Amino acid sequence: MFSAIKTLHQGVDVCINNAGLARPEPLLSGKTEGWRTMLDVNVMAMSICTREAYQSMKERNIDDGHIININSMNGHSVAPQSVVHFYSATKYAVTALTEGLRQELREAKTHIRATCISPGLVETGFAFKLHDSDPERAAATYESIRCLKAEDMANAVLYVLSAPPHVQIGDIQMRPTEQLS
């Protein structure tokens, strides 16, 4: 992917890591395969893309790039639902990795910024994948409150990218006003 970006666009100036995956795999009875899949997508893929984006910026002397990790409110608190506990652990990892990245970028004496955007419930297909055996439950998740929309997420990204070069926005936590946790 990064090779194609280099060929087509010279490289990456802004990287938005937006992949996220949850499987209903509780800690006491979850399947190892489901846990590995969540780790691979939510932690490893994000880390690999971050490394490759940084290398692309470094090769081209980009000193004002930005790496934005789309996280989750589950990366800041653990919901009382056993099916999301392991997912929460992967999102806590995203929180820690974003702060670690910010620190490494400072050590590298670069002005590339790192930001985490942590939304609550966004109206996507996410709940349908989490509750794939119960589509009615998934639909009810989105009908229970007025959810965030993709446009809200895009606006958060634009806000982060429009910050002056001397401003580091570390984490935006956003949730629907009706969401309890």
* Dist CA 79 CA 75 (whole Å): 10
pLDDT classification of 142: cutoffs 50, 70, 90: low
Q: Where are the domains of the chain?
A: 2-23+30-174
Report yes or no: 172 and 115 within 8 Å, Cβ to Cβ: yes
Q: Decide: helix, strand or coil at residue 125.
A: coil
User: Which of 54, 87, 142, 159 is labelled catalytic?
Assistant: 87
- Identity of the amino acid at 109: K
H-run or E-run covering 41 = none
Is there a contact between 23 and 38 (Cβ–Cβ < 8 Å)? yes
Active site residue 159: no
- Site of tokens 């937006």: 18
Using one digit for the tens of pLDDT, what is the confidence trace for 49-99? 999 999 999 999 999 999 999 999 999 999 998 989 999 999 999 999 999
Q: Say what the pTM is.
A: 0.89
End-to-end Cα spacing for the chain: 36
| CATH code of the region 2-23+30-174 | 3.40.50.720
pLDDT at 52: 97
